[in-house]
Amino acid sequence: MTDLPAIVAQIAADMAGEVERGAVADYIPELAKVDPGQFALAVALPSGHVISAGDAATPFSIQSVSKVFTLAIALGRLGDSLWNRVGREPSGLAFNSILQLENEAGIPRNPFVNAGAIVVTDAILAGHAPKVVLAELLAFIRAAAGDEDIHINKAVARSEQATAHRNIALAEFMAAHGNLRNPSALTIGTYVHQCAVEMTTAQLARAGRFLVGAPGCPRLVSPARARRINALMMTCGHYDGSGEFAYRVGLPGKSGVGGGILAIAPGRASIAVWSPGLNAQGNSRLGTLALERLVRATGWSVFG
């Protein structure tokens, strides 16, 4: 049996000494204030037991990691009909790119690029007030984490809303193609609040257990659905860095511009890592490096 606590502690110690930490996202002004010196790694076992090191009790903005939870909710609500409005292919483009939407008639490539996530949020909004949908999202995440103390940071939501020109453009472009059901202001307003959910690295690790598929994990989606969400995380969870992430880490993963990554070792563990500095694709630089080392030490890559 690998000595997980020692491995996790060693990785955190190694990361503390890294000088090249990447750059914090600055297009959302509130995120630009976050100290890039922080790092946390947490591994949640199927039992719920968490092994962590570093700043694992510090809340951070989960941003696009929220797209995993909204996808699970949307599939629960709409089933496979969701796939009429969003695809399942990697985009090979930046998370906020508008390029493919014109050629592909307003159908985003996948649910993890911004355009796709906006469609997913729009789909779960249908007929409900944003407040109700956000309450449902928080209820889902709290149930997954087994922790009620998870909230939305309103200052981060407001800060993103004030600079959301690109996301509004994506929504309006999809509306022009008949792929938006609500006014763009309503959908984007909901989307920026969803992205502004704050969690600690330990909470996020626990919240990912519903995708691990081992006895003891919360069963919030069916095993077949968990398998498919994992497949999408593997192929699309890191945008135009998804191939590189699969190559280096070999686990389904979803990143966010807050510097968080949720990675799933099927049958074994849910892993969260957080370091605010990003690489050129907007994925946590040290987060990726830490996961690469964890997988090397544990042999947890799905590719053996």
User: Which residues would be at the binding site for ligand GLN (CB under 6 A)?
Assistant: 63-64, 95-96, 114, 160, 167, 195, 256-257, 282
CB of 114: closest distance to ligand GLN in angstroms? Answer: 5
How far apart CA 272 and CA 270 sit, in angstroms, is 7
Q: Cβ closer to ligand GLN: 97 or 179?
A: 97
CB of 216: closest distance to ligand GLN in angstroms? Answer: 30
CB of 95: closest distance to ligand GLN in angstroms? Answer: 4
CB of 135: closest distance to ligand GLN in angstroms? Answer: 19
Q: Cβ closer to ligand GLN: 97 or 270?
A: 97
- By annotation, the residues acting in catalysis are 64, 67, 191, 239, 257
Residue closest to ligand GLN (Cβ): 64
